[in-house]
Amino acid sequence: MYLTLVEKLNDFDSVEIVYEDYDEVPGENSGACSRAGVYRFSGPRGVVYVLWGGASLPAEISDKVRVTDIHGTANEMEASALVIGDDPVFVEPL
């Protein structure tokens, strides 16, 4: 997973939180538990979205995309066919 993360996001210039859904864990210094998220990373190679937890695709993603799972397996598909699960995926508009 770490290698995939570095390959996709190592040279980004900016990150935008598009959507976050999380629960705060009760107790002192317990933190939070993420349920869903959409982050937009921009860099010299373009834009990469990281999505997980059943989050919806941003409106600007509507055509063909390259989807890479946390293990580095990539597939090209229509954005409308993408099902987002609990594991993060990297989505690049084509």
Q: Domain ranges in the chain?
A: 2-93
Residue-level length of the chain: 94
Q: What separation in angstroms does the CA of 69 have from each of 25, 62, 73, 83, 91?
A: 27, 19, 6, 12, 9
CB 87 within 8 A of CB 72: no
Residue 27 has pLDDT above 80, yes or no: no
CATH class, range 2-93 = mainly beta
Q: pLDDT digit string (tens) for 28-56?
A: 777 888 899 999 999 999 999 999 998 99
Residue 35: strand, helix, or coil: strand
Residue 3, SS3 per DSSP: helix
Give percent above pLDDT 90 in the chain.
Answer: 71
Per-residue model confidence (pLDDT) at position 74: 97
**CA gap 91, 56 in Å, rounded:** 12
**pLDDT in the model for residue 17:** 96
